[in-house]
Amino acid sequence: MFTIIKNSVLSISFVFLATSCNAQSTKSGYEDKKVEDVIEMSEQRNVVMIDVRTPGEVANGYLKGTDHFFDISSPNFSKNIDQLDRNKTYVLICASGARSQKAARYMLEQGFGNVVNMSGGMRMVRNADYISR
C-alpha cells in the first residue's frame, strides 16, 4: 500500500514539474535559440538581427549578419524599436543574454509577435568566423 501511494505521489510530482516547466517556457512569449540556430536564421529574408549592446562592446566584435545596433541603455532605444515592421522576425543579441531578454520582453509588449533571444549572448560564440569587427 505504501509503495502505491509513494509511486502516485512521485507521478503527480513529475506531472506538476513538467507542467510548470512548460508554462515557464511559453510564458515569456519569445524563443531562446542557440548561436548556431541564430546563424542559420540570419540567412532568411524576413529575419532582422538586432544587437542591443553598447557601442564599446560592439566595437570589440559583433555577429555577422547583424542588421541594427540599438543600445538598450540609450534613450533612443524605444524610438528605434517602434519604427520597425512588426511582421518580421527579430533576433536579439547582447553579451550574455540578459539585456536581449529584456529587449525581447519590451518588443512583445509593443506588439511584435516573432521575437527570438540568442541564449547566452556573444559569450557563447565560439567560432571566430561568425564575428565581424
Active centre residues (catalytic): 94
Nearest residue to 132 via CA among 75, 49, 9, 11: 49
Q: What span, in angstroms and rounded, lies between the C-alpha atoms of 101 and 31?
A: 10
Contacts of 32 (CB under 8 A, 6+ apart): 97, 116, 117, 118, 119
Dihedral through CA 43, CA 103, CA 23, CA 34, nearest 10? Answer: 40
